[in-house]
Structure 1
Amino acid sequence: DATPLKAKRSNLNFYSPTTGTCQLSPCSSPCSDRAQHPSTAPAEDGNEQSNSESGLSRRGQPQTEHDEFLQLQSQVRNSLPRILKLRANLTSLKALEGSRELENILGVSHSSCVLSAELQKSQALVSQAEKLQLLKANHGKVPAR
């Protein structure tokens, strides 16, 4: 059944009319990756989860530690509303009201930690660290603006 015509048709699945190129391997297709690795499929909340174990960026380049950090920071920022919603649901449960059980579940006292403020502080510290790193890279010279 593998006539040249049928073989040619199956090869069209790996041809990109946009780039005019053929795919080298059927395994490198983003579509087939999603089918083979359900962890990269969109999550329930609509955010796409990353395949962190591959260590490759979208362009196939190895991710730097900084890129990985920015990706994690983005995930934290994107999950903040969901975390706050879950926390609000937990605090509204009558079984946990007035007990230290809520504090044990969350790991911190509810009143002592405002997550959005902590995230902003973290981002400010990161940008400050990046500026210092840039300053060190320029050997103490003020970066041109």
Structure 2
Amino acid sequence: MDQTLLMRMMELSYNGYYCSQILVILALEAQGKSNPDLIRAMGGLANGCGFAGGPCGTLTGAACLLSLYAGKGTDEEYEDERLKYMLQDLGEWFSQTYGSRYGDVTCESIVGDRTEIRQRCGAIVAETYAKVMELLTASGYDVTAGK
């Protein structure tokens, strides 16, 4: 992964953004956009949907990121039929990569006792962002253009 991108991820984390927020901020910045309302909303996915024992916020944030590019956002738009396949590929990859390593894809399973949270989560966010960009590019999306 690009060093500039990694440094930006670390800066965002240092500034208090969660995994799900970092993913979307990076994509919006690649498009030359900002959307504080969306970023605030993405915070609800962090920590297993607010410490509720739910799935890792990186996984759910990455699903939202795919939908940011391929989903329906207005009455005039249609969801890209490839979205469900990208989401399926993402879920399978995440489960095989992290679910098998940590026993499940819940935030709690991945971070455990939270002693290695920065290192563990940082790597997961970086690798997942790269996977999402790979899925989008393979489906013909210009990640700098958005929908």
Specify the TM-score bucket, using the shorter chain as the normaliser: under 0.3
More helix by share: 2
TM-score of the two chains, using structure 2 as the length reference: 0.26
Q: Tell me which structure has the larger Cα radius of gyration.
A: 1
TM-score of the two chains, using structure 1 as the length reference: 0.26
